[in-house]
């Protein structure tokens, strides 16, 4: 499960980097904007899917919260 979460986070970062690349690229404005918007839409979709996966894994008992120890 940990590897799946890491892969999901890397996919989010990759889509964000792709959108940044298309934003900084010069040339056809309409094509550039469409590709940047698509990359950002992919980032949002992957983020939502990752959140739902983590929530489902918690509900199914596959992952457990460890909690933060209280300092005394």
Q: Distances in Å between the alpha carbon of 70 and those of 13, 40, 65, 67? A: 33, 39, 15, 9
Could you count the other beta carbons within 10 Å of the beta carbon of residue 72?
3
Q: How confident is the model at residue 46, as a pLDDT?
A: 92
Question: Which structure tokens are listed for 35?
Answer: 């590709």
Averaged pLDDT, 19-34? 81
Predicted structure pTM score:
0.75
Averaged pLDDT, 34-52? 90
Averaged pLDDT, 40-67? 90
Averaged pLDDT, 28-45? 85
């Amino acid at each position: 499960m940990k590897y799946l979460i890491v892969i999901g986070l890397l996919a989010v970062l990759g889509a964000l980097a792709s959108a940044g690349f298309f934003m900084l690229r010069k040339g056809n404005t309409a094509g550039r904007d469409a590709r940047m918007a698509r990359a950002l839409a992919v980032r949002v979709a992957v983020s939502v899917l990752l959140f739902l996966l983590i929530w489902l894994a918690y509900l199914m008992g596959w992952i457990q919260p460890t909690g933060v120890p209280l300092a005394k």
